[in-house]
C-alpha cells in the first residue's frame, strides 16, 4: 500500500523503489520535487508512510535556520562594506567560491577575471592606467667641435610620431648641454604623472663612446648615470613599470664588415667595462643600443639612422599584431644587419624586464612614412 502511495505522488517505477533511500532522494531532487529549502513533499510522504522520520526532518530544518541566523549575526551588509573599504583588496564571490583580487583588477579596462587572464597579467606589464606615460627625446645635432649630425631631425620626428601614436606624451629637447640634461633628468625623475602612467621611454640621439653619450657641449656622460635616475628608489612612481631607453650613438670605432652615411663615433682612448654594466642592477629596464659594444652605428645624412628608422617602421608594423617589444627589437636587429653592403651594423638590447612589453593597439592608423 505504501509503495502505491509513493508511486502515485512522485511518479517512480517499481525498479526505483527497490533501490536505496539515497537513490530515492536523488530521484526526487532530479524531478525538482525537493531541495534544501523545500521538503514539503518529503514531509507529506513521511506523515503517511513513516511518521517516525518526521523528527529528523524537523531537526534538519531547525538546525539550518539556526545556522543562517548565526551567519547573519556575524557579518551584516554594512560590516562587509566597511571591510571592503579597509582592505587593499576585495573579495569576489563566484558561486560558492571566494576569490581575493586587487581593486585595480576590477577596473573596466582591466583584463577579465579568468584563469587565462590571470596568467596574462603575470607575464605582461600593465598598460591600462590613466595614461601611457612620457617619451623624452634628446636630439643633439650641433656640438662645440664634433661633427654636425645631419639627418638626426628625421629620427627625432619619427620617434615623436610613433610614440604619440602609441599614446605617449612626447617631449623633444634639442642640442642639450650637460647642465640642461641634468635638469631634464631631475624634472622627469620627480614627475608626479608617473604614478598614473604605464611606462617611460627615454631616447637619445647623439655622438657616443663605449657605454657613454655626449652632450652638445661635449661632456661625456655614462649611460648608467642617466638610467640610474629612474630606479624604484630614485623614482618611486615608475616602480614595477617598464623603463625603456633607446640610444642612437656609436659604442666604439670599429666598422662591422654606397650610400651617403656617417658614423656617430668618437675614438675611445681607454678600455671600457662591459656594456651590461650600463644597465642598473634592478628589474624593469631595457636599453636598446643602435650597435653592439665597440662598433659604430650609421646615419644617413637625409634619411636618418638605420636603427631609429627600423625601430620606427617595425613598431608601426608589429604593434597592431600584438607583438611584444623584444620580438619587435629582434626584427629590428635582422633588418639593420642586412643594410649597408660591406658596412654592417647590428643593434643590441640589454634588459632586466620581468614581463613582456605589449603596447595596446592604437585606434588610429599608424603614422605615414615621411621624407
Instruction: Of 339, 324, 248, 241, give the one whose Cα is nearest residue 288.
Output: 248
**Is residue 53 included in any domain, yes or no?**
yes
Specify whether 29 is located in the same domain as 88. Answer: no
**Is residue 234 included in any domain, yes or no?**
yes
Cβ(367)–Cβ(165) below 8 Å: yes
**Is residue 294 included in any domain, yes or no?**
yes
> Which stretches of the chain drop beneath a pLDDT of 70?
1-29, 33-34, 36, 42, 46, 68-121, 250-281, 291-303, 339-346, 369-371
Rg (CA), the chain: 34
Please give the tally of structural domains in the chain. 3
**Is residue 362 included in any domain, yes or no?**
no
Q: What is the enclosing helix (H) or strand (E) of 132?
A: strand 131-139
Beta bridge partners of 92: 99
Q: What is the Cα–Cα distance from 284 to 227, expressed in whole angstroms?
A: 11
Specify whether 53 is located in the same domain as 33. Answer: yes
For the chain, percent helix, then strand, then coil, each to nearest 5? 40, 20, 35
- Residues with Cβ within 8 Å of 332's Cβ and at least 6 positions away in sequence, in order, are 307, 310, 311, 314, 347
Question: What CATH number did the domain enclosing 159 receive?
Answer: 3.40.50.1460
Beta bridge partners of 265: 208
Catalytic residues, by residue number, are 207, 250
Distances (CA, A) of 338 to 49, 310, 331, 344: 91, 11, 11, 7
Angle between helices 21-30 and 40-49 (to 10 degrees): 140
Instruction: Of 348, 354, 356, give the one whose Cα is nearest residue 332.
Output: 348
pLDDT for 103-115, tens place per residue? 333 333 333 334 4
Specify whether 111 is located in the same domain as 241. Answer: no
User: Residue 24 class from Cβ within 10 Å (0-12 exposed, 13-18 middle, 19+ buried)?
Assistant: middle
Specify whether 113 is located in the same domain as 155. Answer: no
The set of cell numbers assigned to 86 is: 579597509
Give me the pLDDT at residue 114, please. Answer: 40
**Is residue 371 included in any domain, yes or no?**
no
Specify whether 274 is located in the same domain as 316. Answer: yes
**Is residue 358 included in any domain, yes or no?**
no
- Cell 585595480 -> residue: 104
Specify whether 177 is located in the same domain as 220. Answer: yes
pLDDT for 211-267, tens place per residue? 899 999 999 999 999 999 999 999 999 999 999 999 998 644 443 333 444 545 544
Specify whether 248 is located in the same domain as 282. Answer: yes
The set of cell numbers assigned to 126 is: 600593465
**Is residue 359 included in any domain, yes or no?**
no
Q: What is the enclosing helix (H) or strand (E) of 33?
A: none
Give me the pLDDT at residue 244, please. Answer: 98
User: Residue 41 class from Cβ within 10 Å (0-12 exposed, 13-18 middle, 19+ buried)?
Assistant: middle
Give me the pLDDT at residue 109, please. Answer: 36
Specify whether 191 is located in the same domain as 295. Answer: yes
Specify whether 193 is located in the same domain as 306. Answer: yes
Q: What is the enclosing helix (H) or strand (E) of 272?
A: none
Q: What is the Cα–Cα distance from 360 to 282, expressed in whole angstroms?
A: 25
pTM listed for this prediction: 0.62
Distances (CA, A) of 309 to 16, 177, 304: 79, 25, 7
Instruction: Of 350, 211, 227, give the one whose Cα is nearest residue 272.
Output: 211
Neighbours of 281 (CB within 10 A): 11
DSSP alpha helix (H) spans, 306-349: 306-318, 325-337
**Is residue 360 included in any domain, yes or no?**
no
Residues of the domain holding 346: 130-351
Amino acid at each position: 500500500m505504501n509503495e502505491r502511495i509513493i508511486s502515485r505522488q512522485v511518479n517512480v517505477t517499481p525498479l526505483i523503489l527497490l533501490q536505496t533511500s539515497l537513490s530515492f532522494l536523488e530521484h526526487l531532487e532530479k524531478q525538482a520535487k525537493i531541495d534544501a529549502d523545500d521538503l514539503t513533499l518529503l514531509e507529506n510522504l513521511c506523515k503517511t508512510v513513516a511518521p517516525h522520520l518526521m523528527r529528523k526532518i524537523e531537526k534538519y530544518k531547525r538546525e539550518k535556520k539556526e545556522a543562517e541566523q548565526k551567519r547573519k549575526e556575524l557579518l551584516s551588509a554594512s560590516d562587509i562594506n566597511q571591510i571592503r573599504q579597509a582592505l587593499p583588496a576585495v573579495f569576489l564571490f563566484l558561486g560558492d567560491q571566494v576569490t581575493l583580487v586587487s581593486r585595480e583588477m576590477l577596473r573596466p579596462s582591466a583584463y577579465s577575471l579568468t584563469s587565462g587572464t590571470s596568467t596574462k597579467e603575470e607575464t605582461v606589464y600593465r598598460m591600462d592606467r590613466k595614461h601611457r606615460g612620457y617619451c623624452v627625446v634628446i636630439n643633439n645635432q650641433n656640438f662645440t667641435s664634433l661633427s654636425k649630425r645631419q639627418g638626426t631631425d628625421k629620427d627625432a620626428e619619427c620617434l615623436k610620431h610613433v610614440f604619440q601614436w602609441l599614446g605617449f606624451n612626447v617631449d623633444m629637447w634639442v642640442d642639450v648641454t650637460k647642465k640642461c640634461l641634468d635638469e631634464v633628468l631631475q624634472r622627469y625623475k620627480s614627475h608626479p604623472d608617473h604614478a598614473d602612467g604605464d611606462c617611460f621611454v627615454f631616447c637619445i640621439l647623439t655622438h657616443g663612446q663605449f657605454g657613454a653619450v655626449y652632450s652638445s657641449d661635449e661632456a661625456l656622460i655614462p649611460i648608467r648615470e642617466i638610467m640610474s635616475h629612474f630606479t624604484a628608489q630614485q623614482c618611486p612612481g615608475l616602480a614595477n613599470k617598464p623603463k625603456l631607453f633607446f640610444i642612437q650613438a656609436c659604442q666604439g670605432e670599429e666598422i662591422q664588415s654606397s650610400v651617403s652615411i656617417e658614423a656617430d663615433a668618437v675614438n675611445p682612448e681607454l678600455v671600457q667595462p662591459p656594456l651590461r654594466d650600463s644597465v642598473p642592477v634592478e628589474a624593469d629596464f631595457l636599453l636598446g643600443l643602435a650597435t653592439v659594444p665597440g662598433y659604430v652605428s650609421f646615419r644617413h645624412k637625409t634619411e636618418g639612422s638605420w636603427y631609429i628608422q627600423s625601430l620606427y617602421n617595425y613598431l608601426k608594423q608589429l604593434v597592431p599584431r600584438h607583438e611584444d617589444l623584444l620580438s619587435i627589437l629582434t626584427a629590428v636587429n635582422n633588418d639593420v644587419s642586412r643594410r649597408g653592403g660591406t658596412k654592417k651594423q647590428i643593434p643590441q638590447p640589454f634588459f632586466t624586464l620581468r614581463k613582456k612589453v605589449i603596447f595596446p593597439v592604437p585606434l588610429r592608423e599608424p603614422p605615414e612614412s615621411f621624407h
